[in-house]
Structure 1
Amino acid sequence: MLVSLYTIALLSFSLNEAESFSSRGGKAHLSPLHLAPQDEDLTAPSDILECSVPTNPVLCDRLKCELYQLGASYDRGFGASPGARAKAQAVVEELERMTPENAAAQGIEGTHPNGSPLAGSWRMIWTTAVDVLLLNASPVFITGAVHQVFDPPVVTNVIDFLPRAQSLFPPDVVPSSLLRAKVQTKASPRQNKPNRVGLLFEKVQVQPLQILGVDVNMVPPLGFNLPKLPGTDNGDSPGYFDVTYLDHELLVIRQNAPGGLFALVRVNSIDP
């Protein structure tokens, strides 16, 4: 997910805001995302490239169930004990040894006639990435849903934040507030690495969706374009992740520096 740069920008925007993240076989897809003031409806086109099928679906289902349970019990890794992290790591590694996908990056540049097996919206259920886990250390916000939306060649990281005080009181005492942050990147395949997706960071955006129970998603977002390093294009951009497991409902990726893995499930909507 590669949100180190994003984290710095996000915390800056967040503090300013405080003061003034499916049925089986279904293929979800987000209509072209241009960082509009509000999320567009998700529709499922017929040309999404199919994922490979695991050779041992019964064992895969059991392992995925274990991972889902760990994610639900330990807040996606934010509240994980060392023992829970070790269990999740063992489950993920066993899944990775069984991965049926050997061309996950196919179509990620947006030109493949049959689309991309990654296309659609995914919600994080587990992570070991320190740069993401640290987001929950904020004294102002707690981390809500974390999504990754693939609309090749655009990949957008979406993280929802809720005021920490909101989690300490009943909803009728502190009405709901929600801040949504997005980082837009441009994806590209890497030569001779069919499961690697290169990322070029393009935009950062922060937008309140709800304040004290009132929907404010029409409020213009705050955002800026990220500078492009001279001589850097999609083919040699420093950001990337490797797809280590992929089927029709579960995606596991490992990012480059600062490292860490993400497990995500396919969803039909990123609505809060």
Structure 2
Amino acid sequence: MATSTLLFPTTPSSSLSSTPHSPPFPISANPRRLRQAPSSAAAAFRFLRPREAVRAKSDLLSLISDQERGLRTQRDPSKRAEIVVAIEALAAAAKGSVTTGPPLSATWRMLWTTEKEQLFIIKNAPFFGTEAGDVLQVIDVEKGTLNNVITFPPSGVFFVRSSIEAEPPQRINFKFTSAVLRGSNWEIPLPPFGKGWFESVYLDEDIRVVKDIRGDYLVVDRAPYSWKE
């Protein structure tokens, strides 16, 4: 995640289109509504276009709901294209919003991604006698830190520490500083291996949508817990 979509950056790609797209299928008469953002996050959300954002968010969450965090999408190019259209519509609804401030600080849990290396780990973990649990991005804007985490319940974890620097309105530059593979009573340090950037093209009190340096996409929600080393 940023092991996530961000562990293996290569070359930059172009920004998302700012032109809204039509949704890929009819919208429910009662789309899921955004809860009122907390006052501390008001500045981050003030540019959102509420109607467009609600519709695009509902479309996106519906499209990824059965995709097994992206494993099924790898085998279905047409579904991937539909999801990208929904992401671009959501990004267009959030154009001009600042997503690099305090509301970015959270433990974010992966819902869906196109990042191949991460999906490879999720898919093949059973061959190593384990199973991938939550995949996380843990961001602290004030401290300038990012941890990319893959958990292997009950006690295994692989995480990569990074330093980050905000480049408003939506870009975060990061540099990996160290990595650790840890079990219940052992730990293997690994060398850092890269740097890059990602853009949170949409952020609200529920979810965040990311495009990274390689053109990969990531959709995360706010985890109901805070991950700590």
| Pair 137,249 (structure 1): closer, same or farther in 2 beyond 3 Å | closer
Partners of 2:175 and 2:189 in 1: CA distance:
15
Candidates 189, 196, 203, aligned match of 1:224: 189
Q: Does 1:240 align with 2:217?
A: no
Are the equivalent residues in 2 in contact too, given 1:181–1:205 (CA < 8 A)? yes
| Pair 205,49 (structure 1): closer, same or farther in 2 beyond 3 Å | farther
Partner of 1:103 in structure 2? 98
Partners of 2:57 and 2:220 in 1: CA distance:
11
- Aligned partner of 1:249: which letter? D
Map 1:154-233 to 2 at 5 A.
154-161=145-152, 177=154, 179-190=156-167, 194-208=169-183, 219-220=184-185, 222-224=187-189, 226=191
Query: Structure 1-normalised TM-score?
Result: 0.60
Are the equivalent residues in 1 in contact too, given 2:44–2:97 (CA < 8 A)? no
Q: Does 1:266 align with 2:222?
A: yes
Q: Does 1:3 align with 2:10?
A: no
CA positional deviation for 1:102: 3.5
| Pair 105,74 (structure 1): closer, same or farther in 2 beyond 3 Å | same
| Pair 123,202 (structure 1): closer, same or farther in 2 beyond 3 Å | same
Give the length in aligned residue pairs. 192
- Aligned partner of 1:145: which letter? D
SS in 1 for 2:82: helix
Q: CA RMSD in A?
A: 2.9
CA positional deviation for 1:97: 1.0
Partner of 2:86 in structure 1? 91
CA positional deviation for 1:103: 2.8
| Pair 88,103 (structure 1): closer, same or farther in 2 beyond 3 Å | same
Partner of 2:207 in structure 1? 250
Q: Which has the larger radius of gyration?
A: 1
Query: Structure 2-normalised TM-score?
Result: 0.70
Are the equivalent residues in 2 in contact too, given 1:104–1:194 (CA < 8 A)? yes
| Pair 79,148 (structure 1): closer, same or farther in 2 beyond 3 Å | same
Are the equivalent residues in 2 in contact too, given 1:135–1:142 (CA < 8 A)? no
Identity %: 24
**Residues 19-75 of structure 1: per-residue CA shift (max 9 Å, x gap):** xxxx94577xxxxxxxxxxxxxxxxxx967852145432332232222222322111
- Aligned partner of 1:185: which letter? S
Partners of 2:213 and 2:121 in 1: CA distance:
18
- Aligned partner of 1:91: which letter? A
Are the equivalent residues in 2 in contact too, given 1:187–1:197 (CA < 8 A)? yes
